Structure 1
Amino acid sequence: MSNQYKKLLWCALAVTTLGCSKVNEYKDIVSSDKTKPDPVTNVQVKNEAGAAIITYNLPRSENILYVQAEYMINGQTSRQTKSSYYSDTIHVGGFEKSQDYTVTLHTVSRANVQSDPVEVTVHPDTPPYLQAFPTIETKADFGGININVLNELKANLGIITITTDPVTRQHEIVNQHYTNGDTITYSVRGYDTIPREFGIYITDQWGNISDTLLTTVTPIYEEQMDKSKFNGYILGTDVETGFGWEIQNLWNGNTGSPGYHTEQPIQPLVWPAVITFDMGQAAKLSRYTIWNRGIDGSGNWLWQAGAPQTWTLWGRESDPVDETLPSGPGAPGVGETSANGWINLGTFTLPAKPSGLPNPQYTNADLDFWNAGFSFNFSLELPKVRYIRFQCLENASLTNNFFNIAELTFWGDPR
């Protein structure tokens, strides 16, 4: 990954965190007053995780433009932070560890003349990337390794995975997961079912790097489920098909329209609405991807209309008996069964639109995100299943009287 791309990722995370906050600009203002400004006084420090907030009294002068802080965040990197003369506070951050650091403060005049320096010692608390490092947990996953990290401060972090490259025989970066989420769970896949050593370390937006956790796991076998074996399996409580968008379209390899569509509205209305199909073979499922109706000849359906908003998948290996599946409070949890033996494989939610724009507005990034499909993992503790019931709990329009899907793809171990 290039440094330029990393910067773009960090910028995107910063926008997510800071929203549309105004950024002060410190443009030189022409002044003929070359008098050296007085320094700040009454300096106070409040230490934070990897950072500190410094407050002070400004000198009584209309010629002050800003206050500047200069400091080293580690043994190699220096930073410079500025604060407007309208403020009595400056934030310094990006420190590598919890220890003493010297911050030098200058007031700067409108003629770009600096005051005498004022040195202040800060002692930041343990920075977020180091707080997150001991929380790393790993386990074998289908085709690779599953990684879990707690980021309680919701800081901008990079979770970096390395493993031995077959050509260089050296540890090389194979995945870079940038996030400011508090609970981080994801998998790195694409590996054979033989023991493999992985390393995981954490970095932050200032380039600080934790130690590396080394662990050896044996990836679990997985393959894409053979769609040629899929068939519909209509049960009495399944909803009716609408508009000729048949259930077979869910596994025809076409992620565009037409897909599957219920009646609209479902008559008589029974909600949550359920459809059932047979994968043709039992498998311990690892993950799946769902594609929803996007932009076609009849309009823009991104995050709208009949796209499932929340849904539950149910499965069983044999004897697909019918029943009205439970939902809501008191319904069986993941891995638990309904009254007639359907296993809850998980309840899932449509990811939010990255741009946050109101419908029907969208960006190119939103469209790419939608068209790529949304992928979800299954619990490693689930048993083999063959028959699947898709239970739509809400649709994106919240009319809750129809739903549609373009394509479904499953992965797992059918052996």
Structure 2
Amino acid sequence: MSALVWISAASLAAWLWLLLCQGFFWRTDVRLPPRRDPEAWPPVCVVVPARDEAEVLPASLPSLLAQEYPGRAEVFLVDDGSTDGTGDLARALAERTDGLPLTVTSPGEPPADWTGKLWAVRHGIALARAREPEYLLLTDADIAHAPDSLRTLVAAARTGGFDAVSQMARLRVASGWERLVVPAFVYFFAQLYPFRRIGRRGTRTAAAAGGCVLLRAEAAERARIPEAIRHAVIDDVALARAVKGSGGRIWLGLADRVDSVRPYPRLHDLWRMVARSAYAQLRHNPLLLAGTVAGLALVYLVPPFAVVAGLVAGDTAAAVLGALAWLVMSGTYLPMLHYYRQPPWLAPLLPFTAFLYLLMTVDSAVLHHRGRGAAWKGRTYARPDALTEEG
């Protein structure tokens, strides 16, 4: 047998393993678990870190202020050094919205060993603790919530005994590039962190979606949130690991009525979103980068290459094996496309999207080594070990 046949067989074997043994990551039916209303609704404080969010705030903040929550709840928007009038706009929106009380505050510039978002979260949590909430809802400034969002999150956490309940907001899919890249982003995330394993007792898999995390205040103190993760660029995964590592129960699933309103109309916008944290996900390790590139190539790029090369060279076995792997790949992607209301003909294009992600990951490493990695809204963050060495 040719080398191409062996490589194609390895790719097909990898896809069969992913299909059956990776927590059924490709299924999209992990939604909020069964829940019932508590007899008494616990107090909740909502913390919203916001830096230069005037563009999206009119579509998101009113949805938080209009929450139909039977218990005591209030919102803290932490203006993280915005230069576009985010704080003033938030106050104006609150004046026009008859709903939950809003406090707008600013923490000042973060210390060197804190990311700006987590410094803002720290400030918001400190203010919230004075109200003695049982739960904290950590949500991003670009997330719009259905009127019953807070109510259903609290009911799910209470019923299931979870210390953290997180929903992955449905990202915006409007432009051509968003249709090509965004569903794959969530698909790849679920492949790395299968949702079913996250909520299961006795597993080490931990992740959350930073746009919507309901966190028990007691669990946050026990896990030292956010101090314990103060330099994390991928803060949602770090938060979930800290909570689970301190003995807490966590849950993550897809959202039905929690949506991101942030637009990524151009490939450049999506590229920046991925590249700013991809190398951090690999712990800034060149060996992990090389392994990731090789793995992406074997799993996503080999199937279409084997089909084309096999047909050209007359290697029927390689073409058949490549076609089978491509078919399994496309089949696992269909549920995510359906969740995002996208046409099924996008499924066979997943290898092209994966190639884009491969290039974004490599670019993330290049930017890091040039001193421009993990850059977001005017700030660039160093590796955590670099901060330790400097300290």
Q: Please give the TM-score of this superposition, normalised by the length of structure 1.
A: 0.20
Larger strand fraction of residues: 1
Larger helix fraction of residues: 2
Relative CO higher for 1 or 2, CA cutoff 8 Å, sep ≥ 6?
2
Larger Rg: 1
